[in-house]
Amino acid sequence: MSTFSAIGEEREIDRDEYTPGVEPQPTWCPGCGDFSVLKALKQALPEVGRTPEETLLCTGIGCSGKLNSYLDTYGFHTIHGRSLPVARAAKLANPDLEVIAAGGDGDGYGIGGNHFIHTARENHDMTYIVFNNEIFGLTKGQTSPTSPKGHKSKTQPHGSAKEPIKPLSMSLNAGASYVARTAAVNPNQAKEILIEAIEHDGFAHVDFLTQCPTWNKDARQYVPYIDVNESDDYEFDKTDRVEAAEMMRETEESLYEGEVLTGRFYVDEERPSYGAEKQEIGEMPEEPLAERYWDDDYEWERSHDMFLDKHA
Amino acid sequence: MTDDELIWRISGGSGDGIASTSQNFAKALMRSGLNVFTHRHYPSRIRGGHTYTEVRASADPVESRGDGYNFLLALGDSFARNPQEEAVYGNEEIKPLSENLDELREGGVIVYDEGLLDASEIPNFDERVEENNWHVYPLDLRGLARDQGREVMRNTAGVGATCALTGMALDHVQDLMRDAMPEKILEPNLEILQIAYDQVKEEYDVDAPDVSVPTGEHDEEQLLMSGSDAISYGAIDEGCRFIAGYPMTPWTEVFTIMTQNLPKLGGISEQVEDEIAAAALAVGASHAGVKAMSGSSGGGFALMSEPLGLAEMTETPVVLVEAMRAGPSTGMPTKPEQSDLEHVLYTSQGDSQRVVLAPGTVEEAYEQSRLAFRLAYEYQIPSILLYDQKLGGELKNVPKSHFDREPNPTLGKTLSEDALADEPHSPDGKFHRFQHDVEDGVSPRSIPGQKGGRFLATGNEHDPTGHIAESPDNRVAQIDRRTQKLEAIRDDLNQEDTGSYAGPEDAEYGILTFGSQQGTVEEAVGRLNDAGISVKSYGVSDMLPFPTEQVREFVESVDEVLVVEMTASGQFRGLVQKNLGQYGEKLSSLLKYNGNPFEPAEVVDGFEAAIVEGDGDASGHQTTFVPAAGD
C-alpha cells in the first residue's frame, strides 16, 4: 500500500539522514554519555536497513528524552515514564513500523517501572534503550533507582538506605527475550548490541551505561568494562535462563564494586513476540490495522449488520 | 403517573441471576409490544447482599424508572442456601422482602419464596399488607425448582408465577429462553416455567389480575439496549478499532463489550497494567493512524490526566469514556452519581483543552459516542464521553432503525503521501505538522511510516516542525491555535441538535439538567404540566464547549430555573453560572447524592416545594434544595 511507502524501502541509507536539517544544538553537557547513544543509534539503524521514516522513536522525559530532538525519525516525546505504553500501542497498530523506546533510569525503572515489567512480560517486538547514569540529571542530581546504596544527594543527604534496582534481572524475570548491557565508553559494542536488539523479534532491553559528568562524577561507568561474551573468565550460555540469571546477578553486584561487566546476557530467539501471539489466537489482524484506514476498497462493517440482532 | 403500567421488581442476592432473569423478562415484554426501561441496584460484592432490578413496561414511551413499583418478586438471599440451608449472611437474611416494601405501591403484588423467606419475621408485615392493600402470594419457588432437580432455577419459577399473576402469555418468555439458554439447561427451565405458571393459575383466581401487564404494539423492530451497548456500537460505527483499558466498575461494561466485538472486526483490545498505560496506549495507537479509545471511572480516570494532557498538547485524537460512580476516592462502586463533572472538565495541568459530551439517554449515548469520535479526529483533540452508572447499565427499547447509519472511519485532516509530496509545508522542505495559521486551528497531520511526513510529537511546547521551542511568539501562536479549535467545535456543535427539550415553549418555569437524569426530568415535566404548572426542561448534552447561548436563551425565557443533578455541591449549576456569568438569582438546585438516581416524583415534589411554594422543603425524600444566590 502506497500510504506507508517509507516502510520496507530498500536503499542505501546515509546516517546523516537521521540528523535534523536545522540542527538543534544538543543541550547535553560536554562529555555526556548520551552522545554515545545517539551516535550508536545513527550507526545501527542504517546497518539494520531501517529508514528514518519507518522508524518511530518514543522517549520519556529527562536528558534522554531529548534524543528525539537530535535523531530525525518519526518521534513521540511522551511524558515521564510513559514511553513504553505509547510505543507498544503504535507497534500493535502498525507492526511494520520499527519501534524504539528510550528513557533514563528514573524514567524507565522508577516512574515507568510498572510499564517496564509489563512490556517485558508481553514481549512486544521493540527495542528499549535505558540511559542508565545512576542519577536524575535534568532535575539537577537527585538519587535515582539505580544509584548505589549510600549515595548522597540533596534528596538523600544521609546517603541512600535503598538497594539499587537490578534492571537486567528484573527484565529477565519479567519476560524480556533479549537483555543486554552496554556502555557509552565502548562505542563498537554499543553499536553491535543495538543492531542485534533492533533486529531481535521480541522485547529487547538494553541497559546503556551513560556517564553524567555534571552530577555523578563518582559513578562506576568511567572504569574500564569487560565484555562477558569475549572474556574467557565468563563462561555461560546466554540462551539458558538459569545461567543468564546467574551472570546478571554477578554483573549487577559487581557494577557497584568497580567492575563493569557488559554484553549480551540473555537471548531467546524462540519465544514469539506479543503481536505474533495475538495474531495466533485471533486477537489481531494479519495486515497492519493502520493500513485499513487508507484502503478505499475496505468495507467497514456496521454494528447494525453485525451485532444488533442479539438485542432484538 | 399512568396506572396502566407494570413495574416489576425482582430482588434477591447478587449471584441469584437477578440481572439475567430481568433482562430476559424485559426483552419478553418488549417483544410483546411494550416499551420497557430497567433500573439496576446492586452492591459491590460477588454474592449475596441486597440487589434488585426493576423492569418498567408500558404502552406509552418510558424514559425513566418511574416512581416505586407495583409487583415484587422476592427471591431468597443466595447465602441462605449455601453452604447450609439455615445459613444466613450477616444481617441480610430477609432483605429481599423487607428492604423493598417501602417503595411498593398501594394495591401492589408481592410474590415471595416461602422456601427461603419468612414474612412473619418482618415487623408489622400483616398490618402493612392490609394498610396498603397489597396482594401477597407466598410460593415455594425453591421447592418447586428442586422438584425438577435444579434449585438454582427458582428464578424461572418466579417468572412463571409472574406471568400467571399478571395475565401475560408465556410464549415470549419461552422464545427467549430458547434463544439464550444452552440445550442442557433449557428443557428443565421450560418445564419449571410451565409448572409454576400452571400451579399459580390453578391455585389462585387470576382471571382478574391485581396488577396486569398492559398491551401495546410497536410499529417497527425494537432492540433492548443499555447505555454501555450504545456507546460501544457508536464507537464501532465511527471506525474505532483499538481499545485499551483496566477494569473498573462501571466502565468495565463498555470495555467488555468492545473487547468481545473488536476481534470480530479485525480490531484490537488490550487489557493493560493501569489506567495511565491504558490512555497512553490509546494515544500511541491513534498516533500510528488508528481510531482509538480508552476509558475508566472516577479513580481510574484520575490516572489518565497525564496522557489526556499529552494528547491535547500533541494534538493526538483520542476518545476517553468516563463512567461516573459516587466518589470521592473509590466511593460507592456500584452507585450512580454525576460528581465527576468538574474532575473531567478541569483535570490535567495547563490551559488544556478537550471536548466533553454527556449523553442523556441510550439513543443519545450512541449518537454522542459517534460525535465524540468525529470531533476528536476532525479537530485532533481528546474528547471525553461522560455518563454514569445509571445510563451505562439501564436497558431500554430503541428502534433498530436508530442505528442504521453509515460507518465513518475517516481520520480527519490526515495527509496522504501524495499530498505530503505536493505540498511541502515549509521552505526548508520539512513537514510542518503544527502550522501556526490554519483554518479552524487544525493543522493536517501525517502518520508514521508515510514518506515525507516525518515530525516530532512532544508534550513540551513546540514549533511548527514539532521541535521543543520556548520562544514567546511561538508559544502564543500555538496556544491560540489550540484554543481556537474549541470555538470551531462550538460552531460545529451548533449545527447539531444535541440538547433535549420538553414541555411548552412559553412555559413560566424551567428545569435544567444533564446526563442520565434527563428522562426522569422530562417525565416530571409532563406531570407538572398535567397538574397545571407551566414548566419546560432542557437536558444539556455538551459540557465543553458549553452551549452558552442556548442555555442563556432558555434561562431568559422563564421566571425561575431549577437545576437538577446527582451531586452534593451543585457542580452542573456552577458550570452553568460560570458560562452565563449572571442569572445567579434565577437558578436554584435540586440535588440527590444518596447513591440512587432521582425518581420523577422527587423532581415533581422538589419543584413544587422549591419553586412553586418557595419554601424549599422537599421533605420525605433524600433530596436537597439549594436556593438561588441572594435569596
**Helices then strands, each counted (H, E), chain A:** 11, 10
The answer to whether the CB atoms of B287 and A52 lie below 8 A apart is: no
pLDDT at residue B91 is higher than 70 = no
**pLDDT for the residue numbered B2:** 44
- 3-class SS at B158? helix
Q: What is the rounded distance in angstroms from the CA atom of residue A89 to the CA atom of residue B286?
A: 9
Which site among A82, A138, A306 would you substitute to test the B interface, given the most B Cβ atoms closer than 10 Å to its Cβ? A82
Among B377, B379, B388, which residue's Cα sits nearest to residue B332?
A: B388
Q: What's the rounded mean pLDDT across residues B353-363?
A: 97
Which site among A22, A74, A97 would you substitute to test the B interface, given the most B Cβ atoms closer than 10 Å to its Cβ? A74
Question: How does the average pLDDT of chain B come out, rounded?
Answer: 92
pLDDT at residue B553 is higher than 80 = yes
The distance of Cα A147 from the centroid of its chain, to the nearest Å, equals 20
Residue with cell 449515548: B365
DSSP code for B495: H
Across the A/B interface, how many CB contacts are shorter than 8 Å? 223
Contacts of B417 (CB under 8 A, 6+ apart): A2, A3, A5, B450, B451, B452, B453
pLDDT at residue B127 is higher than 80 = yes
Q: How confident is the model at residue A221 (pLDDT cuts 50, 70, 90)?
A: low
**pLDDT for the residue numbered B583:** 84
DSSP code for A229: T
Residue with cell 477494569: B247
Contacts of A68 in chain B (CB under 8 A): 456, 458
The answer to whether the CB atoms of A93 and B288 lie below 8 A apart is: yes
Question: How does the average pLDDT of chain A come out, rounded?
Answer: 94
The answer to whether the CB atoms of B457 and A5 lie below 8 A apart is: no
> First vs last Cα of chain B: how many Å apart?
33
What is the bridge-based pairing of β-strands B35-41 and B48-58?
A: antiparallel
Which of residues 398 through 417 in chain B touch A, CB cutoff 8 A?
400, 403-407, 409-411, 416-417
From residue A233, how far is each of A69, A188, A254 by CA, in Å? 41, 21, 14
Helix (H) or strand (E) holding B305: helix B305-314
Nine-digit cell string for B568 = 452534593
Contacts of A5 in chain B (CB under 8 A): 417, 450-451
The answer to whether the CB atoms of A87 and B264 lie below 8 A apart is: no
The answer to whether the CB atoms of B454 and A52 lie below 8 A apart is: yes
* C-alpha torsion sign, points A5, A7, A9, A11: positive
Q: How confident is the model at residue B383 (pLDDT cuts 50, 70, 90)?
A: very high
Size (chain B), residues: 631
The answer to whether the CB atoms of B417 and A97 lie below 8 A apart is: no
**pLDDT for the residue numbered B80:** 47
Contacts of A311 in chain B (CB under 8 A): 223-225, 229
B409: distance to nearest CA of chain A, Å?
7
The answer to whether the CB atoms of A114 and B277 lie below 8 A apart is: yes
A77: distance to nearest CA of chain B, Å?
4
Which of residues 427 through 466 in chain B touch A, CB cutoff 8 A?
428-430, 447-460, 466
B145-159, B420-434, B465-479, range with greatest mean pLDDT:
B465-479
Q: Is-contact B567 B591, C-beta < 8 A?
A: yes
pLDDT at residue B539 is higher than 80 = yes
Amino acid at B308: L
Q: What is the rounded distance in angstroms from the CA atom of residue B450 to the CA atom of residue A303?
A: 31
Q: Nearest Cβ partner of B283 from A86, A94, A294? A: A86
The predicted-structure confidence for B195-245, as pLDDT tens digits, reads as follows 999 999 999 988 888 999 999 999 999 999 999 999 999 999 999 999 999
**pLDDT for the residue numbered A282:** 96
B83: distance to nearest CA of chain A, Å?
36
Q: Does B273 touch chain A (CB under 8 A)?
A: yes
Q: Does B86 touch chain A (CB under 8 A)?
A: no
Q: How confident is the model at residue B83 (pLDDT cuts 50, 70, 90)?
A: very low
B404: distance to nearest CA of chain A, Å?
6
Q: Is-contact A54 A9, C-beta < 8 A?
A: yes
Contacts of B223 in chain A (CB under 8 A): 308, 311-312
Amino acid at A227: D
The answer to whether the CB atoms of B223 and A282 lie below 8 A apart is: no
DSSP one-letter string for B514-571: EGGGHHHHHHHHHHHHHTT--EEEEEE-EEES--HHHHHHHHHTSSEEEEEES-SS-H
The answer to whether the CB atoms of A290 and B261 lie below 8 A apart is: no
Amino acid at B204: Y
Burial class (CB in 10 A: 0-12, 13-18, 19+), B120: exposed
DSSP one-letter string for A84-149: HHHHHHHHHH-TTSEEEEEEEHIIIIIITHHHHHHHHHHT-SEEEEEEE-SEETTTTSEE-TTSPT
The answer to whether the CB atoms of B284 and A76 lie below 8 A apart is: yes
Instruction: Tell me if the bond preceding B83 is cis, omega within 30° of 0.
Output: yes
pTM: 0.96
> First vs last Cα of chain A: how many Å apart?
40
The answer to whether the CB atoms of A74 and B455 lie below 8 A apart is: yes
Q: Does B602 touch chain A (CB under 8 A)?
A: no
Query: ipTM of this complex > 0.90?
Result: yes
DSSP one-letter string for B587-613: EEEEE--SSSPPPHHHHHHHHIIIIIS
Q: What's the rounded mean pLDDT across residues B562-590?
A: 95
Q: Is-contact B258 B269, C-beta < 8 A?
A: yes
Q: Nearest Cβ partner of B242 from A52, A115, A289? A: A289
A253: distance to nearest CA of chain B, Å?
29
B326: distance to nearest CA of chain A, Å?
28
**pLDDT for the residue numbered B615:** 73
The predicted-structure confidence for A170-196, as pLDDT tens digits, reads as follows 999 999 999 999 999 999 999 999 999
- 3-class SS at B624? strand
pLDDT at residue B92 is higher than 60 = no
* Bridge partners for A261 per DSSP: A226
Q: What's the rounded mean pLDDT across residues B283-312?
A: 98
From residue B433, how far is each of A122, B345, B377, B467 by CA, in Å? 33, 27, 15, 10
DSSP one-letter string for A230-248: T-TT----TT-HHHHHHHH
The answer to whether the CB atoms of B417 and A5 lie below 8 A apart is: yes
Q: What's the rounded mean pLDDT across residues A160-164?
A: 96
